[in-house]
Structure 1
Amino acid sequence: MLEYLPHWLPAEASQATINIILLGAILSVSIFADALAHRTRIPRISILMLVGIGIAFVHQVWIGAQHSDVLGGLSEPMIQLALVMVAFLLGSELELRRLRNTGPLILVISLFVIIGGGTMVGAGLLMLGFPLVVAVSLAAISVATDPAAVSESVREKGSAGLAPRILLGIVAIDDAWGIIIFGLSMSVLGWVIGGDGQLALLHALWELGGAIVLGVAVGLPAAWLTGRLKSGEPTQVEAIAIILLLAGLSSLLGVSALLASMIAGGLVANLAYHHTRSFREIEHVEWPFLVFFFVLSGASIDLYKVDDAILLTLAYVFLRLIGRVLGGYLAVIFSRAKHEALPRNIGLALTPQAGVAIGMALLAAERFPEFSDSILPVVVASTIIFELLGPVLVKRVLR
């Protein structure tokens, strides 16, 4: 970024200085985005994503930068911190007292949605003549849902009742399903194509098992500590320490940060007497990081790859939408005891897709480089579509 600055600026304008200015500018833009959302009823998440895409256009097309990270390596940890916060807060939705009433329903709907969506994408792409690796990889990637977009849309809508609780519960476990299915899919594909399925399976088991161990290792001490500190600054320090430890250790160990954070949040919610203190303190500082998440996610998209594989992208988007709607509809019909209180189009509210899907696409492209030009552009382009339409669909379902 520094090489594109005017020459008349002082020589001491370092990358850290530019990053501070950009972060301040992003937060300032979010204030105008919030005002615009109130006036136009457009979800502020969609506006922030558009701001990020605008930054990507300026950075990549206008300036002509070769890389998509406008913050010089800082975007990834900022996005990671936001996702860890969201996952930790979603872990509070896994409180056993709540799950006694809604747990079976959450499990049924999530299974119907992921099976319906994944099967529709995989079978549809195979019927259209796309390669097996592309079809299976995109089917596994389609399972992932963006928890940040769904939870923020639910909170922004301000709805109460069964449907919002079910949605938050589903996205709390959706990425766990996604990681399991993606790991198994890569294992099967590796075994079918190259015979290295055992290595892929071990990697998937470590990513899942290590995340569980890390979540327990951080969650149990956090649950013991919560309630022994007075509310206020000490609790806020405790909450931020949990988030930083989860984000850093998961990256160091190569395990799923989302799954580890959800497990830690669930342990705190179920074992700590004053568990709401930590969650409230995180909620107080969460929104600025979510602003960075949505804007930087849009800014990190490689616009030069978006127009590749247009037909495959359209097919993937259409099949994923149909599969999720059909899966949600069948789940509500199947759950006769509760379906009167649930909208039958609940699958539409589970369409947002972001960081986890892109991460899976990068892993799939790394394992099967000959298909990277097919998988990566599709996931990048569909992420833009689902992140812009997803919040609108969530609000429509909750209406």
Structure 2
Amino acid sequence: MIHDATFGIAVLLGTGLAIAKLAQALRLPSVTGFILAGLLLGESGFGIITVDLLGNRLDHFTNIALMLIAFGIGEHVELRRLDGMRKNVAYIALMQALIGFTLVTLITLQIIWLVSDVQIITRHQLILSLLLGAISVATAPATTLHIVRELGTRGPMTSTLMAVVAVTDAIAIMTFGITVSTAHSLTGTDGLSLASLLICLYEISGSLLIGITTGLIINKVLDKLHNNGEMLTAGLALLLLCGELTRQLHLSSLLAGMMAGFVMINRSERDVRLFRIINGFEPPVYVLFFTLAGVHLDLSALKLAGWVGIAYFFARIIGKYCGTWVGAYLSGASQHIRNYLGFALIPQAGVAIGFVFMISTDPKLADWASTITPVVLAGVVLSELCGPLLVRITVEKSGEISSEEQKKQPASFITRLFTADDPHKDSPALEPWALGEMQPPTVPVGVIVVGTCHFATARALTRVATILAHHFDALPLAVRVLKKEEEKELSPEERRDLFLPESDEASQLGYPLRTELLYDKRASALIAATEAHKAKALVLGYPISRDPLKFQKILDPVSSEVHCPVIAVRFVGTMSWERILIPFIHPQELDVLLPIIEAMITSCHPKLTFQQLLFADSTRDERRAREKELESWAGSTVYDADSIRCLAEASESRLESILREARRHDLIIMTASEFKGMQRRVLGSLANVVVENCKNPVFVVYPGKAETSAQDTV
């Protein structure tokens, strides 16, 4: 059990993220993982995070998160984007709220009456059903917004969904206020007076007024600010002030936050900078919000809810779906919206829990709170576990997930399970050789050694080695290393057949292939072959596996002992080099890379991008000066490239800068880390993390013993 708030935050963040990644592997939304993490940490699970800790120290994170989430929802209700959809939004929001409220009220009333012993419906049962119907209108805007952002969806379905969610929660607040006033009148303690209706009107209009004022003030302040840090500070201060003001005045912070975002996005200047800055600030707040929501969920409520809870859950789903369908039909919305949008309105969380809290703290409704709390919480538990998946299915069916985000989505667990051991699934694809046969040198000068180990990579490695051989006026030499005990097991024909892929590929390029079969440990055999033949270069391939860096155990001793460059090739997708990216940090790296780049130019005339990664605080003048130096060097040194682009980038993350630029390229060529052993374990290797994370083929160039010594001398 944790009693320290800081430790609690660390556990919530770490556990939430870990289980969210597991959920993503199963093709479930991250939100589901966050909520499951909260369930495990809370009193329904291992009891690590207690309600006392939440109530005393961590609940203010929920208030902050709700305000930021509400503000983000307002961004999606842009009237210009809703041109042609306003009718759809109005009809769908009203009909699903009306039909959902009516259906939940009638079905729960019927179930309550059936399970009771009374002969007629009582006033107590009617109030209970009305309150459940009002609570059922609410949705889960935070869940919906998080999934939309996670999948990068954009289009009519997404715009309609976000607008309907925002309008629905406004309707839910109004419906709940009117229902509570009605319940007060039915208890006999109040009449259905003008005062009770005015209180409801006060909550709605007051929330809207504060939201509009906050949006206008934020917009005015942002006009005077240009620094991202200042905008974030000012924006957060005003949003949190808005949230606290509404709380003190017993208004709706959710409605106020939505209206603030709505005002900003619909102003004529349409300043979205604060939305974008807060997007980068939100992820840890989101994790805390949803894991805390999971901690609050009590699975024992599923038992206490009984038949009323089951009726509430299914009646709400039917009401939401049917109401959405009717609204979409009446407004003439598309078939996709009509058939699928209703599923995306199933999640229910924060607003509904807030309504339950208000009922439990209302002395006039205390008699109903003991029944409503487990029923609604049971519905929240079930809807938050299955609802996010339904939202994801909805946006997937609409086809509005961006192609870039679709590529990021992991394959399903089942798919990966049954393909994990397929030896051919990741075999590197080679573009057909369309340049004709190359002319081998009349008098070869040395060899390019290619160490082949697996048939899957033999052809691709041989092509690389042959192209290098053509540039260096050498011949390719294929070396295979077997265990010593296998020396007597292979027949001469079997030994010859081992090199069939290499021989076939070299002959297609017009080159003869020399071969050598060695029986020893792989590293020592490769070193011996390279040194014995005085090779111009050694070409090796990373294993095609989920952990290619296991190959480092061979690369390190080989690159440290041989006197020629070592090119380690990481195969991903199709091997091509029409567009080559050359990222580097120090200009001296280009001296190591230049021979390999020239060899690639020899085989075709690629487009080259030289990307120098500068310090993050580099000024614009420094970047421009470095780009001019690069252009001058490239113009005088690199010949026959189709085009050359020089880019000097102030990089906040070197890996992300490379990965972002790599999307527009076929191949990456970069130098290996200069660190070895423990130094590399502590300080890392940029080349290694690129090999691990990049979706492009990568050439990692080790300079070799002689060049390394020369660099050290300099």
Q: TM-score by structure 1 length? A: 0.89
State which drifts further: 360-369 or 381-390: 360-369
Instruction: Describe the superposition over 1:261-295 as per-residue Cα deviations: whole angstroms up to 9, x where unpaired.
Output: 11111111122625110111111111211111111
Distance 2:129 2:84 in 1: 37
The Cα shift of 1:72 comes to 4.5
The Cα shift of 1:180 comes to 0.3
Tell me the equivalent position of 2:66: 83
Residue 101 of structure 1 aligns to a residue in which SS? coil
CA separation of 1:274 and 1:94: change in aligned 2, threshold 3 A: closer
Distance 1:186 1:325 in 2: 25
Tell me the equivalent position of 1:281: 277
| In the alignment, structure 1 residue 266 sits paired with structure 2 residue 262 | yes
Tell me the equivalent position of 1:101: 84
Q: How many residues align?
A: 381
State the AA in 2 paired with 1:384. Answer: V
Tell me the equivalent position of 2:231: 235
The Cα shift of 1:51 comes to 1.0
| In the alignment, structure 1 residue 226 sits paired with structure 2 residue 222 | yes
Instruction: Describe the superposition over 1:315-354 as per-residue Cα deviations: whole angstroms up to 9, x where unpaired.
Output: 1001001111111111222222x32452413111101111
| In the alignment, structure 1 residue 23 sits paired with structure 2 residue 6 | no
Structure of larger gyration radius = 2
Tell me the equivalent position of 2:354: 359
Tell me the equivalent position of 1:348: 343
Tell me the equivalent position of 2:374: 377
Q: Percentage identity across aligned positions?
A: 31
Distance 1:303 1:33 in 2: 19
State the AA in 1 paired with 2:382. Answer: I
Tell me the equivalent position of 2:150: 156
Q: In the TM superposition, what are the counterparts of 1:112-151 in structure 2 within 5 Å?
A: 112-130=95-113, 131-151=125-145
Note the residue ranges of structure 1 that are not aligned, 5 or more in a row: 6-14
Instruction: Provide the alpha-carbon RMSD of the alignment.
Output: 2.1
Q: In the TM superposition, what are the counterparts of 1:167-316 in structure 2 within 5 Å?
A: 167-196=161-190, 197-198=192-193, 199-271=195-267, 273=269, 275-316=271-312
The Cα shift of 1:46 comes to 0.9
Residue 97 of structure 1 aligns to a residue in which SS? coil
State the AA in 2 paired with 1:119. Answer: T
State which drifts further: 142-151 or 118-127: 118-127
Distance 1:207 1:295 in 2: 29
Tell me the equivalent position of 1:11: none
CA separation of 1:77 and 1:272: change in aligned 2, threshold 3 A: farther
Task: Report which of the two has the higher share of strand.
Answer: 2
Residue 51 of structure 2 aligns to a residue in which SS? coil
Instruction: Describe the superposition over 1:344-374 as per-residue Cα deviations: whole angstroms up to 9, x where unpaired.
Output: 1311110111111111122234332122221
Kept in 1: contact 2:299–2:381 (CA 8 A): no
Kept in 1: contact 2:77–2:162 (CA 8 A): no
The Cα shift of 1:92 comes to 1.6
The Cα shift of 1:143 comes to 0.3
| In the alignment, structure 1 residue 334 sits paired with structure 2 residue 330 | yes
| Structure ranking higher on relative contact order (CA contacts 8 Å, 6+ apart) | 1
Distance 1:97 1:189 in 2: 40
Instruction: Describe the superposition over 1:179-219 as per-residue Cα deviations: whole angstroms up to 9, x where unpaired.
Output: 10011111112212225243543332222122122112222
CA separation of 1:220 and 1:144: change in aligned 2, threshold 3 A: same
| In the alignment, structure 1 residue 37 sits paired with structure 2 residue 31 | no
Instruction: Describe the superposition over 1:15-69 as per-residue Cα deviations: whole angstroms up to 9, x where unpaired.
Output: 6xx111111222222331342133211211111111111122368x757x9x724
CA separation of 1:191 and 1:72: change in aligned 2, threshold 3 A: closer
State the AA in 2 paired with 1:361. Answer: V
Distance 1:62 1:274 in 2: 46
Residue 160 of structure 1 aligns to a residue in which SS? coil
| In the alignment, structure 1 residue 394 sits paired with structure 2 residue 391 | yes
Kept in 2: contact 1:239–1:279 (CA 8 A): no
The Cα shift of 1:302 comes to 4.1
Q: TM-score by structure 2 length? A: 0.51
CA separation of 1:294 and 1:311: change in aligned 2, threshold 3 A: same
Residue 339 of structure 2 aligns to a residue in which SS? coil
Distance 1:31 1:186 in 2: 39
The Cα shift of 1:105 comes to 1.3
